[in-house]
Structure 1
């Protein structure tokens, strides 16, 4: 069902305020009926779906993905990110001047980023260790299976040091 202009505004204001009556008033419904209209609007399935859809759009626009967060923390840890800081310098005669300068992350900031990365990546490291251990166990099982499957006689090597090689003098 197509939403009316008032319903569209109601949805936006409801997301903003989380209050149906206030959203109805701001959307242009009568102050006298705003409580009832707001409540009725929230009961309508197509309005509920529109609210969910709009919230999902907002989340996708505003929320960083895990990949983005990890990339940012990595950039901070590597000192690739700069921030702007205000620096005030004296110019003489009791006067000073302020200016904005770029600043790389401090060692402390870089260390904190590294700790955050380690914390978030720790569970991946644990999974890698577990996977590595499983590979080792599989290889051991394969080797044990090969030893039980082969029924060949052991090979014995004998070396005789008495004969000298013709090139050796």
Structure 2
């Protein structure tokens, strides 16, 4: 695949921000006449399309938590490593209040819920039942009528 030139790379960056091919072409340094008539052609360029697709996939990965991240988060909640902030109003004078910030560990309910979710993930709460199935055997020993 060919490397993109500076204008094309700028077009890719601007297009990812705005989704507007015309405006992106102008910001990338293409003339207004070219942008008006042919900006859609830039999106058909294999190199540009590939660069846009690749960057969009990277952005998606950055924005969405994967399985590992979720499992690490649940584990840190269980261990009390995640803290919540609570604002506590304190009266300092007549009609005057200050707010104190207090950090506290996740409450027991949150930790229990995280433990439940992790337990479900690892199928710790699944009861194993052994069942023996006896299949009846049918014997056709009835004499046929002549």
- For the criterion TM > 0.5, the same-fold answer is yes
Instruction: Give 1:91 deviation, angstroms.
Output: 1.0
The gaps in structure 1 that reach 5 residues or longer are 138-169
The gaps in structure 2 that reach 5 residues or longer are 133-146
Whichever structure has more helix as a proportion of its residues is 1
Instruction: Give 1:125 deviation, angstroms.
Output: 2.2
CA distance in 1, matches of 2:115, 2:52: 39
**Does 1:85 pair with 2:86?**
yes
Q: Alignment length, in residue pairs?
A: 130
**Does 1:28 pair with 2:29?**
yes
Which of structures 1 and 2 has the larger relative contact order (alpha carbons within 8 angstroms, sep 6+)? 2
RMSD across aligned positions (CA): 3.1
CA distance in 1, matches of 2:51, 2:13: 10
| 1:88–1:99 contact (8 Å) kept in structure 2 | yes
Runs of at least 4 residues off by over 4 Å: none
Q: How does 1:75-114 map to 2 (within 5 A)?
A: 75-114=76-115
**Counterpart of 2:80 in 1: which secondary structure?**
coil
Q: What's the TM-score once normalised by structure 2's chain length?
A: 0.68
The Cα offsets for residues 88-135 of structure 1, whole Å up to 9 and x where unpaired, read as 21112111112332122123333443444355x1xx529x989x97xx
CA distance in 1, matches of 2:69, 2:39: 38
Larger radius of gyration: 1
Q: What's the TM-score once normalised by structure 1's chain length?
A: 0.60
The Cα offsets for residues 20-46 of structure 1, whole Å up to 9 and x where unpaired, read as 223223333334432433211110011
